[in-house]
Amino acid sequence: MTRTAYGLLMALLTLNSVIAAGLEDLKPITDWEPCAAGVWRGTIGDMKEEVRYTDLAAQSPRLEALQALPSAKFPFAAGTIRFLQTDRQEIMVRIPTDADEKLYGFGLQYDGLRKSGKILNLNVDHWAKGGGRTHAPVPFYLSSAGYGIFFNTARFLKVYAQIGNRKDSPHNPLPVDRNPMPDEKQPGRWQARPAGDAVEARIQGRGMEVLVFSGSSLLEIVQRYNLYCGGGALPPLWGLGFWHRVPARFSADQTRAEIEEFARRNFPLDVIGLEPGWMTKSYPCTFEWNRRRFPDPSGFTRELLDKGVRLNLWENPYISPAARLYKPMYALSGSHMVWLGLVPDYTLPAARKLLTEQHAQDHIAIGISGYKIDEVDGYDFWLWPDHATFPSGTSGETMRQTYGLLMQRMLYQDLFQKRNVRTYGLVRASNGAASGYPFAIYSDSYSHAQYITGLSAASLCGILWAPETRSARNGREWLNRIQTSCFSPLAMLNAWASAKKPWSYPEVTDAVRKSVELRLRLLPYLYTAFADYAFKGVPPMRAMILESGGASADQGTAIRGRLDGEANPYAQARTVERNDQFMFGPSIMVAPFYEKYATERQVQLPAGDWYDFYTGRHVGGRQKNITISAAQTGDRMPLFVKRGAVIPLLARTISNTDQAYGCELELRLYGSTKGSYELYEDDGKSFDYMKGNYSLRKIEVRKTQSGEFTYTEERIPSDGPSMFGKIKTLKVMGAQ
């Protein structure tokens, strides 16, 4: 948005607030308190007994990084944001919107990014059919008018996003007769849903905290949100390798044989995930090794670590009567059970201590690398009812909204951070202020199109999404799904039920292997993208609306509503969104093949010049649509690179991330005579980077007068830690 447009909008909002003074029953939030550069806090009612999501964040706000962003003003005129608090403990907040304002976000919503004209129930739940309930219903949204709003209170939130009209609102559209006489002029087309001019969001609770984030672009607003929540997660380097989860009832011997098969077939592997059968009992769980399947857990873990393979353990939090922890945890758990197991109240330090001591002794001490925390989302019939009680006094509702966060916090802080060892894992529910947690969300839903949308949706709200591969109807689908996984935060095959292996579809095995190998070759670039998430709040994979041109480039396809007494009785129009492209790191755009676009698809090129990643061919720009086929890419993921990008790759193929340390680099420059890049390096495994123990390799590539390409490189600080090897080759891609 240009400065003038922004100014105009602000003027409109001011006007809005003056007229909105007519909204008599609503009080303005007046005490907007600046809490970091570009972030303001407004409080309604009494927050003493409410839980803020930010109370559960991994780290405190990164104030310096927030300060380093361009300065920003409070984006609303005084009195614009208003609220209603009733004696029934209802709190409603109203944020006016402009007619053209587009809204995005509200968490990991797989049905699209646009949220204008929607009603959302933001409750943690297993993904069903939209409606807001999802694995991570983050109550944060972005507006094309240059701000973001975070409802920072752990309650079920119902949001009316530009839907519904107050009788005293100044911006209501004029009513239109739906069935006019032929000679009657109408002010417009009748609409089943007249445009609303506000976001109205409601909770049942004593208090509500609203955070406002400002920004000159959607990306800057997201950065502010992430930085305020403590910055993004930085996984250990091994976490970015390939993960394979074995069938639920696999033994040590079967797992060992599978790992040998990976080596024999020359397939990269970094992490093996054990599913529920590693425990003596699951659903509910004991967290204790099943010695009949795993007679020597310590020896087994060590043997794998010697091969560079880490073990990740599945668990759900519900404690079996057969567990050592059952008795001591009984009094520290809620009134209701899940799968007949106790639901510990992990807001209590004593409960945290019990679990983490057991985990430390049985798992961490022998070298377990992390966890997959299952079943913390829903559906309602699996989890505790809303009226369940917990010993800390936390309500069943707040517990539901935060259980995934509480688990992440406990495992991350009490098991790993405390030992100065990084972890990377999975969790099936998360919520606000989670950006600092190194856990990716996964789902039992399995639509490939929705999995791709998830990558964009996650990038708007500080979470990581793992579009895992489980099975496929044919080799092509298998390849396409694995390729998507390889360009996501966590590349994983989850064979817990399918018993599939990466080579289960022989006709695509080579292409599948190449796709995993490419992910590993891109490690220097990918790891730096995660460092940008940690330090600057820039998500490593990003929705296209976060790129320059962002929301204005997001047009969608409008489908006019046609009256049909059965199929569309209100003749409702709709807009079809395109969310099947996303950014991977700063300069690679990914356009996966999927579903009916299994081998051929359209790609919309954003503004600027774009190049084929593999060949360097100039493919176009300026929002041109091109068609790309699997025949053209040689069955590889369609990847497009921005003009002037410098991309560091490992110079050779590796099969485990341990081999990346010291590995020489290939540097690529795309379509330009110059470019620069800052390669981030640290030890790849500890939290020392948080104390400043990292280095940046500042690389400049340019064309000399004699027409040759050359580069310079400087490490800052010069004695900082090093990770990758020397630059071996410089490749100039595309005509200059």
Neighbouring CB atoms inside 10 A of 559's CB total 11
303 is written with which tokens? Answer: 């043997």
Cα 358 to chain center, whole Å? 30
Nearer to ligand GAL, 447 or 722 (CB): 447
- Cα distance between residue 400 and residue 125, in whole Å: 9
CA terminus-to-terminus distance, the chain? 31
Judged by beta carbon, residue 277 or residue 586, the one nearer ligand GAL is 277
Closer CB to ligand GAL, 97 or 369, in the complex: 369
Nearer to ligand GAL, 444 or 708 (CB): 444
Considering the complex, what minimum distance in angstroms separates the CB of residue 18 from ligand GAL?
52
Closest to ligand GAL by CB, 314 or 451: 314
Question: Which CB, 450 or 528, lies closer to ligand GAL?
Answer: 450
Give the C-alpha separation, 688 to 93, whole Å: 42
For the CB of residue 499, give the shortest distance to ligand GAL in the complex, in Å.
13
We find the least distance from the C-beta atom of residue 148 to ligand GAL, in angstroms, to be 31
Task: Indicate the residue whose CB is closest to ligand GAL.
Answer: 496
- DSSP state letter for 357: H
User: 185: Cβ–Cβ under 8 A, 6 or more apart, which residues?
Assistant: none
Provide the minimum distance between the beta carbon of 593 and ligand GAL in the complex, in angstroms, as a whole number.
24
Least Å distance, CB 371 to ligand GAL, is 12
Q: Which residues pair with 338 in a beta bridge?
A: 341
The residue with tokens 């593999």 is: 614
Q: Return the number of the residue (444 or 510) whose C-beta is nearest ligand GAL.
A: 444
- Could you tell me which of 98, 81, 91 has the C-alpha nearest to residue 170? 98
Q: Based on CB atoms, which residue is closest to ligand GAL, 363 or 476?
A: 363
CB of 133 to ligand GAL, least distance (A): 17
Considering the complex, what minimum distance in angstroms separates the CB of residue 333 from ligand GAL?
A: 21
Distance CA(539)–CA(191), nearest Å, equals 37
Q: How many residues bind ligand GAL (CB under 6 A)?
A: 9
Is residue 414 part of the contact set for ligand GAL (CB under 6 A)? no
Helix (H, G, I), strand (E, B) or coil at 623: coil
CB nearer to ligand GAL: pick between 248 and 337: 248
Distances (CA, A) of 266 to 60, 478, 510, 634, 706: 43, 19, 10, 20, 43
Beta-bridge partner residues of 93: 83, 201
Distance in Å, CB of 451 to ligand GAL, minimum: 14
Task: Give least dist CB 251 to ligand GAL, A.
Answer: 16
From 105, 336, 339, select the one nearest 225 (Cα to Cα): 105
Q: Does residue 467 contact residue 452 with C-beta atoms inside 8 Å?
A: yes
**How far does Cα 385 stand from its chain's mean position?**
28
Minimum distance from CB of 545 to ligand GAL (Å)?
Answer: 29
- Name the minimum Å distance from CB 498 to ligand GAL: 11
The footprint of ligand GAL on residues 113-172 (CB under 6 A) is none
Q: Which of residues 305-334 bind ligand GAL (CB under 6 A)?
A: 314
User: Between 285 and 526, whose beta carbon lies closer to ligand GAL?
Assistant: 285
How many CA atoms, within 13 angstroms, populate the side-chain half-sphere of residue 482? 34
* Beta-sheet pairing, 198-204 with 140-143: unpaired
Q: How far is the CB of 247 from ligand GAL (least distance, A)?
A: 10
Q: How far is the CB of 494 from ligand GAL (least distance, A)?
A: 5
For residue 733, report the phi and psi dihedrals to the nearest 5 degrees.
-105, 125
Least Å distance between CB 107 and ligand GAL?
18
Residue 25 CB: number of other CB atoms within 10 A? 9
List, in order, residues 6 or more apart from 466 with CB less than 8 Å away. Answer: 426, 440, 441, 442, 485, 488, 489, 490, 492
Would you list the DSSP string of 286-328?
--SB-TTT-S-HHHHHHHHHHTT-EEEEEE-SPBPTTSTTHHH
Phi, psi of 347 (to 5 degrees): -80, -15
Closer residue to ligand GAL in complex, CB, 202/310: 310
Q: Minimum distance from CB of 428 to ligand GAL (Å)?
A: 6
Using CB under 6 A, pick the residue from 12, 18, 119, 248 that binds ligand GAL.
Answer: 248
Q: What angle do CA 376, 381, 387 make, to 5 degrees?
A: 85
Cβ-based nearer residue to ligand GAL, 66 or 271: 271
Q: Which of 139, 205, 276, 378 binds ligand GAL (CB under 6 A)?
A: 276
Return the number of the residue (312 or 509) whose C-beta is nearest ligand GAL: 312
Nearest CA to 588 out of 552, 612, 569 is that of 612
- Give the nearer residue to ligand GAL in terms of CB position, either 373 or 727: 373
Considering only residues 443-462, where is the footprint of ligand GAL by CB under 6 A? 444
Q: In angstroms, give the least distance from the CB of 374 to ligand GAL.
A: 5
Q: Compute CA 379 distance to the chain's CA centroid, rounded to the nearest angstrom.
A: 21
Among 275, 477, 547, 609, which residue interacts with ligand GAL (rule: CB under 6 A)?
275
What is each CA distance from 590 to 172, 487, 539, 541, 665, in whole angstroms?
Answer: 41, 8, 15, 10, 22
DSSP string, 489-541: SSEEEE-TTT---TTSSGGGHHHHHHHHHHHHHTHHHHHHHHHHHHHH---SE
For ligand GAL, the closer of residues 499 and 651 by Cβ is 499
Query: In this complex, which beta carbon is closest to ligand GAL, that of residue 374 or of residue 580?
Result: 374
CB of 259 to ligand GAL, least distance (A): 19
Count of CB atoms situated within 10 Å of the CB of 497: 12
For residue 284, is the peptide bond before it cis, meaning its omega torsion is within 30 degrees of 0? yes
Binding to ligand GAL in span 348-387, by CB under 6 A: 374-375
Angle at the Cα of 19 from the Cα atoms of 17 and 23, rounded to 5 degrees: 85
Contacting ligand GAL within 606-645 (CB under 6 A): none
Write the burial class of residue 57 (CB in 10 Å: 0-12 exposed, 13-18 middle, 19+ buried). buried
- Residue 79 tokens read as 């009195």
Nearer Cβ to ligand GAL (69/319)? 319
Cα 450 to Cα 457: distance, rounded to the nearest angstrom: 10
Taking CB under 6 A as the rule, which mask of x and - marks residues 469-508 in contact with ligand GAL?
Answer: -------------------------x-x------------
Q: Which helix (H) or strand (E) holds 28?
A: strand 27-28
Residues that bind ligand GAL (CB under 6 A): 248, 275-276, 314, 374-375, 444, 494, 496
